[in-house]
Structure 1
Amino acid sequence: MSRRDSEKSSIYDDAGERHFIHAQLDYVGEKGGNGAEETIQTTTGAPVEVRNPLGYNVGFWTTLLINVSHLVGTGIFSTPSNILTQTGSVGLSLIFWVIGFLINLTGISVYLELASYFPSRSGSEVVYLEQAYPHPKYLFPVAFAVNGVLLTFSLSNGIVCAQYLFRVANVSASAWAQKGVAIASMTLVCATIVVSTKWSLRIINASGVLKLATLIFMTITGFVVLSGKTSVPNPKANFQDSFKGTNKDAYSLSNGLVSVLFAYGGYANSFNLVNEVKDPIRVIKKTANTALVSVAVLYLLVNIAYLSAVPAADIKKSSQTTAALFFKNVFGTKAGQALSIIPALSALGNMLASVTANSRMIREIGRQGLLPFPKFWVSTRPFGTPLGPLLIIWLMTVLMISAPPAGQAFNFLVALKSYPDSFFLALMTFGLFLIRRQRKKAGLPRTQYRSWSWVAGVFFAAKVFLLVMPWVPPRGTLISTSFGFFYAASSLTGLGIIGLCGVYYLLWTKILPRLGGYKIRQTVIQLSDGAISSYIIKVPNADVEEWDRKHDPSGRSIDSGSEPVTRTVNLV
């Protein structure tokens, strides 16, 4: 270990707003404008935006309801059919809903600790992978960046929204008609977020309240059906011998768990907007757990409501329209048709919440400086919103809605997206332990929140399970029961995307610099809207030594005058 590695020192600028800590890794400490504790991160990370150009519009209720709006989307209205099919029995399907809740509860604990280290950085996984794996330099940020852009589409909500809207209109729509409505709904969502952050958040809040009211209404309806006071015959039939037909096929069970976790997707939504929340760790600790627990209880009760009103065999055949079948059986054909507007509005609200969060994630990827044209990704002009990321999300969603055939392609794309997600979440969770170790060696203080290690271990094990089990073939066949062709196609495609990330990294950081005779260096830029971003530049090999001498560890230019802008202070 070099002398520079072994000694610890701190460098403060004249304003005292930024300081560097040199240990085995170089750290920079900065405070954001959201009232959080200081963010101390490796110098290779994107800089803290002391004044967030997106503003601080995410309060307590918005933080709560943005999670609810993302949690309650199409999942509870569309996935019960697939989960019941994959598990084989009513009893096991209900247990799976509980397992999904417990897994995601451990996930919130992991996210909270990671957020507490970097409370003025939005983007969640973007930041946590960047900080957990500083070596090889840029590898994991680049991999997540490529994956994040390629899989940034929001497919399922648009398709399900279209299906329910056509059901309301009592129209038998073609596949292309459904795709057209799905694209129109995504266009409306993206346009709303582009025009105004405040109004998009207000609509998300209203959507969250509507969704909770809807689930409560469906729960009460289910209890009324179970009481026998409706026209539904034998409402308790599905609960007799409830484990009959339980599926023992590992592949199907893993697909069922994927579907459950998909239905709970959004439990960590607010972590993507951390730097827009005042006192974020305290607020998100309360709201994230409250949202997940409340929704999980309602999910379980709504599933019981479905099972009270719809025979299990019919639920398995209902595909993405389980809720419509429930409304029809309880309220009759016309009323059930009209009530199908509820899942459609829920899907729209989910799209609004998820696209809002994903736009922040993509923007944070851009702030790392690892994608071409960083200003496109980072700028908030002209409306104070992340226009570039929203445009990419819209384009990728339109492409994914238009290109694949309808039907089983829906399930394939869900499975495809889940595999890289599980891969990066497993890396992120393992990275939590690496960050703890790195910070302990650097003598950095503890933060506001620390997860129990066994809780993080459970979440990590769940993600590893989701990486391993899709490779186990279905019993007696190599054809997926979910999407109708080779069972490992989604996993292989997911691995291919991860491999593509590695190819991009090697090309960008190794091959092209060697051929071009330059080194990659990171600097910091500030745009006219106040946005701050890392900016990767090419420094000719002959100029590297001089460039390093004139820039601090984070890449900011050092004043060349006689009075230095930094001074060194020994840490005790």
Structure 2
Amino acid sequence: MAEDEIPGLETGAESPVDEAEEEAELAVVPGAPVERHNPLGHNVTLLSAINLNFGQILGHGIFSTGGPVLASVGSIGLYFTTWSLAPLLAYVGLALHSELSSYFPLRSGGSVVYLEQEFPRPRLFVPIVYAITSTLLAYHAVASIVFAQYWLTIFGLPITPNSQTVVAITVTTITSAIAILSTKWSLRIVNVFSVFKVLSLAFVVITGLAVLLGLTHIKDPYKHFSHPWSGSNWDPNALATTMIKTNSAVAGWHNAFSMLGEVRSHDPVRVVSRAGYISLTVVVVLYLLTNVAYVAVVPPEEIKASGQLIGALFFKHVFGDGAAAKILPIMVTASCFGNMIAVVVGSARVQREIARQGLLPWPAFWAASRPFGTPIVPIIFKWLLSILVILLLPARDAFSFLLDLASYPFLVFGMAVTVGIWPLRARRKKLGFEKSKYQMLDGLIALYVVWHIFLLIMPLIPPKGGKGDVSFFYATYCIVGIGVLLLAAAFYYVYIVYLPKRGGYEIVEEIEDLPDGARNARLVRRYKSATSEGQGLAGEESPLLSSD
């Protein structure tokens, strides 16, 4: 919907947020310039924000991680403990994002915006490290792998490395193409599939209740709950790796925050915050009841050996090998399909916001929205990267490795976002701004920091027997994740510190207005005058990370 069609806005209005809020935002730390006329439009409502979150949360997680989780923790008691802790901590993260978004109600991008404002020193360091890391890890291959496995299961085809790869690449291409062609239709598809996914989980829950009530052929459905702590594995590495997986399964409650600047409301923060609480609460209830259904039907040893196919195993036990057993695989493929579109739509906005901050080469190229009014370059980049990792990784290890790798470096950023809220509050207080109505308790912030520290440190401790959940070195994903962070830091040092010092220039930011209404910051070189050294800067400038 165009801006002149937004309820409550007059034609030509500059933003759905009032001028006082804009001034408050602009008075903090310079970053990507606010776009008075958002070229991506204002298509996000409360319903679509909820469905954007559903679209990312309700992907493959609840249908694919049950087997690896129980295999790691060993007991039903620890299984339910890990599945309960992750959603509880997600509520803390949601409160954190609500407060931070209230400081920058005009900005899409989520964490990249918060980090930019929380850590202005060293200048550009944190934003550039985040930009490079998120760009290098911007794949969405995990959902496509799960889609491929369940798709092959529907048609009774063997799950081989080649067949899995072909199907995964195909669905990645289709979902990326949809996101490129139309944001409005992408959101509509996400809405439809989100409703379908909720109904699918409700069907699993109802089936599980029927089992518990003795209405099916399953005998003694309570026997698997009789010794809940038997076989518990308290190994710190196993617990931390498991918590990373369950944390990833509920990730997505913040997806709508990445599209804050496209919300159709005069109070976009309230919309995305409410959407987060609604979607997360529904998911928590559905996940708990779904896991009860799984355990009631499938023996624990079979769950441990199920890999990513616990959902298919559940329906096979209840309905046998007939046509009814195909119902859940169809549900899972639909969930993954909608999830992939939701992830592409949300994360492409993050990449675009990173480019608008001037933190990627050729920002005008990355931020362009023509010809379809969508962030086409970030979407194509994510598509290429996803295909690359699908082709390079061994098929049997791809799921666990990619899932953990995609999470680990962002735990570092998650902790940084959490810790950074304290200096940001202090700076705003010094500038005379009032407290946010979303301000959260310091104790909850401290708890969230401890949570991140646990998830970062424990996976590095050697597991019992020295073997993790992949066929190679157990901490490979940690090492690769840390390596990506170090590579991003090296990029910062070379291009922002070392080369300017050697070349006699400094890096400054310029505002660039594009024909489609987009506004970017770009980094340019400003050379020192050879004749007036020490007396200021000469007017000569040249682009550093731009297309001009």
Please name the residue that 1:520 is paired with.
Answer: 507
- Give 5+ residue unaligned stretches, structure 1: 1-30, 552-572
Please name the residue that 2:10 is paired with.
Answer: none
Contact kept? 1:272, 1:361, Cα under 8 Å: yes
> Aligned in 2, Cα 1:53/1:448: closer, same or farther, shift over 3 Å?
farther
Which secondary structure does the structure 1 equivalent of 2:349 belong to? helix
Deviation of 1:234 (Å): 2.3
Amino acid aligned to 1:389: P
Deviation of 1:233 (Å): 2.7
Measure, in 1, the Cα distance between the counterparts of 2:45 and 2:536.
46
Please name the residue that 1:235 is paired with.
Answer: 221
Deviation of 1:515 (Å): 2.8
Which deviations, in whole Å up to 9, do the C-alpha atoms of 1:158-183 show, x marking residues without a partner?
00001101100111142122111111
Measure, in 1, the Cα distance between the counterparts of 2:538 and 2:205.
63
Amino acid aligned to 2:216: T
Deviation of 1:528 (Å): 0.5
Of residues 75, 82, 94, the one that matches 2:80 is 94
Deviation of 1:111 (Å): 0.5
Measure, in 1, the Cα distance between the counterparts of 2:43 and 2:305.
43
Measure, in 2, the Cα distance between the counterparts of 1:473 and 1:91.
23
> Aligned in 2, Cα 1:32/1:284: closer, same or farther, shift over 3 Å?
farther
Please name the residue that 1:127 is paired with.
Answer: 113
Please name the residue that 2:128 is paired with.
Answer: 142
Which secondary structure does the structure 2 equivalent of 1:534 belong to? strand
Which secondary structure does the structure 2 equivalent of 1:340 belong to? helix
Deviation of 1:372 (Å): 0.7
Amino acid aligned to 1:121: R
Amino acid aligned to 2:187: L
Deviation of 1:419 (Å): 1.3
Structure 1 position 496 matched with structure 2 position 483: yes
Structure 1 position 418 matched with structure 2 position 407: yes
Measure, in 2, the Cα distance between the counterparts of 1:215 and 1:410.
22
Structure 1 position 244 matched with structure 2 position 230: yes
Deviation of 1:488 (Å): 2.0
Please name the residue that 1:458 is paired with.
Answer: 447
1:200-239 equivalent positions in 2, closer than 5 A: 200-239=186-225
Amino acid aligned to 1:34: P
Please name the residue that 1:324 is paired with.
Answer: 312
> Aligned in 2, Cα 1:164/1:471: closer, same or farther, shift over 3 Å?
same
Structure 1 position 487 matched with structure 2 position 469: no
Please name the residue that 1:49 is paired with.
Answer: 35
Deviation of 1:468 (Å): 1.1
Which secondary structure does the structure 2 equivalent of 1:193 belong to? helix
Deviation of 1:444 (Å): 2.2
Deviation of 1:226 (Å): 0.9
1:75-94 equivalent positions in 2, closer than 5 A: 75-94=61-80
Measure, in 1, the Cα distance between the counterparts of 2:27 and 2:470.
43
Please name the residue that 1:12 is paired with.
Answer: none
Measure, in 1, the Cα distance between the counterparts of 2:467 and 2:304.
19
Structure 1 position 177 matched with structure 2 position 166: no
Structure 1 position 302 matched with structure 2 position 293: no
Measure, in 2, the Cα distance between the counterparts of 1:425 and 1:171.
40
Measure, in 2, the Cα distance between the counterparts of 1:376 and 1:462.
38
Deviation of 1:478 (Å): 2.4
Deviation of 1:66 (Å): 0.8
Measure, in 2, the Cα distance between the counterparts of 1:548 and 1:362.
33
> Aligned in 2, Cα 1:484/1:41: closer, same or farther, shift over 3 Å?
farther
Measure, in 1, the Cα distance between the counterparts of 2:232 and 2:63.
22
Measure, in 2, the Cα distance between the counterparts of 1:144 and 1:51.
26
- Give 5+ residue unaligned stretches, structure 2: 1-12, 542-548
Contact kept? 1:281, 1:448, Cα under 8 Å: no
Please name the residue that 1:379 is paired with.
Answer: 368
Contact kept? 1:249, 1:474, Cα under 8 Å: yes
Deviation of 1:550 (Å): 12
Measure, in 2, the Cα distance between the counterparts of 1:207 and 1:283.
21
Please name the residue that 2:356 is paired with.
Answer: 367
Which deviations, in whole Å up to 9, do the C-alpha atoms of 1:494-552 show, x marking residues without a partner?
1111100110001110122123222111010110100001011111111997769999x
Please name the residue that 2:384 is paired with.
Answer: 395
Amino acid aligned to 2:108: S
Please name the residue that 1:286 is paired with.
Answer: 274
Amino acid aligned to 1:385: T
Contact kept? 2:48, 2:191, Cα under 8 Å: yes
- Worse overlay, 241-250 or 118-127: 241-250
Please name the residue that 1:356 is paired with.
Answer: 345
Please name the residue that 1:161 is paired with.
Answer: 147
Of residues 424, 430, 454, the one that matches 1:435 is 424
Structure 1 position 194 matched with structure 2 position 176: no
Which secondary structure does the structure 2 equivalent of 1:524 belong to? strand
Amino acid aligned to 1:426: M
Measure, in 1, the Cα distance between the counterparts of 2:327 and 2:399.
25
Measure, in 2, the Cα distance between the counterparts of 1:117 and 1:242.
45
Measure, in 2, the Cα distance between the counterparts of 1:395 and 1:187.
9
Amino acid aligned to 1:69: G
Which deviations, in whole Å up to 9, do the C-alpha atoms of 1:232-270 show, x marking residues without a partner?
232112111111111111111111111110111111111
Deviation of 1:446 (Å): 2.6
Matched-pair identity in %: 38
Of residues 524, 527, 535, the one that matches 1:537 is 524
Amino acid aligned to 2:181: V
Contact kept? 2:418, 2:445, Cα under 8 Å: yes
Deviation of 1:492 (Å): 1.4
> Aligned in 2, Cα 1:41/1:89: closer, same or farther, shift over 3 Å?
farther
Amino acid aligned to 2:32: A
Contact kept? 2:528, 2:537, Cα under 8 Å: no
Please name the residue that 1:33 is paired with.
Answer: 15
Deviation of 1:43 (Å): 4.2
> Aligned in 2, Cα 1:550/1:131: closer, same or farther, shift over 3 Å?
farther
Please name the residue that 1:408 is paired with.
Answer: 397
Amino acid aligned to 1:511: Y
Please name the residue that 1:557 is paired with.
Answer: none
Deviation of 1:354 (Å): 0.9
Aligned residues: 519
Cα RMSD of the aligned pairs, angstroms, is 1.8
Contact kept? 2:28, 2:428, Cα under 8 Å: no
Contact kept? 2:208, 2:296, Cα under 8 Å: yes
Measure, in 1, the Cα distance between the counterparts of 2:229 and 2:212.
19
Measure, in 2, the Cα distance between the counterparts of 1:170 and 1:488.
35
Amino acid aligned to 2:374: T
Deviation of 1:487 (Å): 2.2
Deviation of 1:448 (Å): 3.8
Of residues 261, 279, 284, the one that matches 1:275 is 261
Please name the residue that 1:447 is paired with.
Answer: 436
**TM-score between the two structures when normalised by the length of structure 2:** 0.92
Of residues 300, 317, 320, the one that matches 1:312 is 300
Of residues 492, 495, 520, the one that matches 1:508 is 495
Which secondary structure does the structure 2 equivalent of 1:152 belong to? coil
- Structure 1's consecutive aligned runs of 4 or more residues displaced over 4 angstroms after TM superposition are 543-551
**TM-score between the two structures when normalised by the length of structure 1:** 0.88
Measure, in 2, the Cα distance between the counterparts of 1:534 and 1:313.
55
